[in-house]
Structure 1
């Protein structure tokens, strides 16, 4: 395998000159660039990425932390970041944190140690204080799907409270009063804010329901099935359901159909996220759209701008959810 010394010998220049060419130094003459480029191609020499990073203090890479890239929600987020990175001639390095404190910490440390010049971080388990410390260390670190006091200008978030309030109020305006809630059992702000939004909408319309109308579960199909089974076991006179996300709604729908409950004639249901699955459920799922691709694009642009010492021109940091009406909700009969 060719070395930098071999390239220097073949090009008739010094090792220092080869290094300057590799690292795009303005001190390298056009003749040197041409000679070194020809020699590298001839010898099949590839510059060591780690060595270049040490010189440039950067790998021209955007680091991305998600919970689980296998989840289509986070797949959409990664794709949006990747699109922006490619626009700027950069690549991405993706790590999974699995909503686990230690895994998230290890992932962020790996991205920093890999000399990523920009970081887009989706972390739910490590503390605000620790994320603030990381942000102080990495000026181009941007948090997505979380708002941290003192770090608001580098946080891209969604108004989860408003989304749940909107979904619940939509059902109320259609005449529903006995509205159950499928909530996430994960101890993250999204779950708390959505339950608070649900409860606030009920309170605003003077609807008082017992705590038994809220059932917690894993935020996936299985969690939706288990939570829905538990709600049915309580024999609640519910006519509608607000779900933490579309996957829990999908699990709930399967249980309702297995128990011969007609949707939306007997029970209406609203999801959250507007993932691909929402369009193909039967009935097609009314849901709250989570603009994760737009948010991820914004986060990536902000991070890259910060890495360049620039100010991002857009002031939109808190995104608003929107209601997507499909077929899983119906007006409650008088």
Structure 2
């Protein structure tokens, strides 16, 4: 494998000159610069990215922190950041932090230790105060799916309360009067806000909170199954069910069908996120589209702009709204 010394020898220049060409230094004339680049290409020399970062104090990277790799939702989030990385000629660095503030901080520090300065971070466990401190220390850090009023210009977020309201309005419009919810048992804002919006909208129509059956579980297919089994075990009737996400909704469909309850003939189900799974359930899932890929791309652009000092005031809409995607899992009450 060719080294920087090999390039310098063949090009007939010093190692320092090759280094200046690699790091786009100004003290090299164009003729020498072209010659060095030609030799680099001929020898197949690839500059060491870490070494370049030490010299320039910048790495040509864009980072993203997510809780896990296997969830389709977070895969879409990472994909949105990756699209901007490719567009800008940057390398994507991905780090995962699951289930605790300590894990999320470790994931962020892994990227910072690699001199990654533009970072999109999904954090649910680090406190608002600590995140404000981190944002103050790292100008290229932007939060996604998190809203902190004091640093709102660095937050890209979804109105989860409105998402719950949209779901409730849709089911009410179909004539339903008996409702159930299955939601995430994790102590984070998203499920709480979605449930809040859903129940408040029902209350406005005279349906009391106490009549809405609610069951909590892990936010995946297995959790959807167990939460729905718990609902059925109570014996409380319902003709419409709102699920925290599409994974839980698909688990609910399976459990209801296993118990001889037809979807949507007997129970209408609405999910949240509109991941690819929603189009392949049977029946296909009515859901709330979470535009996470577009939001992640916006967050990545914002991170790069803040890093370069280009953003002084909020120039784009940071709050996003979910939209109803009508499919076959909801029907008018018979």
Q: TM-score, with normalisation over the residues of structure 1?
A: 0.95
Residue 156 (structure 1) aligns with? 156
Give the paired residue count.
333
1:56 aligns to 2:29 (yes or no)? no
Report runs of 4+ in structure 1 exceeding 6 Å deviation: none
- The Cα shift of 1:159 comes to 0.4
Gaps of at least 5 residues in structure 1 are none
What does the per-residue CA deviation read over 1:167-225, in whole Å, with 9 as the maximum and x for residues that have no partner?
01211222212110111101111011111112211211111142771100100000000
Query: Is 1:190 paired with 2:194?
Result: no
Report the equivalent of 1:297: 297
1:1-334 equivalence runs, <5 A: 1-210=1-210, 213-311=213-311, 314-333=315-334
Conserved 8 A contact 2:2-2:45: yes
Cα distance in 2 between the residues matched to 1:82 and 1:199: 37
Report the Cα offset of residue 97 of structure 1.
Answer: 1.5
1:124-165 residue CA offsets vs partner (Å, 9 max, x unmatched)? 111112221221121011100110121100100000010011
Q: 1:283 to 1:234 in 2, by over 3 A?
A: same
Distance in 2, matches of 1:277 and 1:140, equals 33
1:70, distance to aligned residue in structure 2 (A): 2.0
Is the contact made by 1:119 and 1:303 (CA closer than 8 Å) also made in structure 2? yes
Bigger CA drift: 201-210 or 136-145?
Answer: 201-210
| Contact 2:286/2:326 (8 A) holds in 1 | yes
| Cα 1:149–1:314 shift into 2, 3 Å | closer
3-state DSSP of counterpart to 1:99: coil
Mean Cα displacement is larger for which, 109-118 or 202-211? 202-211
Backbone CA RMSD of aligned residues = 1.7
Q: Is the alpha carbon distance of 1:118 and 1:13 closer, same or farther for their aligned partners in structure 2, counting shifts above 3 Å?
A: same
SS of the aligned residue for 2:272 comes to: strand
Instruction: Tell me the CA shift for residue 301 of structure 1.
Output: 1.2
**In the superposition, relative to structure 1, how do residues 138 and 255 fare at CA in structure 2: closer, same or farther (>3 Å)?**
same
SS of match in other structure, 1:216: strand
User: What is the distance in 2 between the residues matched to 1:140 and 1:275?
Assistant: 28
Gaps spanning 5+ residues in structure 2: where?
none
> How far does residue 6 in structure 1 lie from its aligned partner after superposition?
3.6
Alpha-carbon separation, structure 2, partners of 1:313 and 1:193:
25
CA distance in 2, matches of 1:99, 1:275: 22
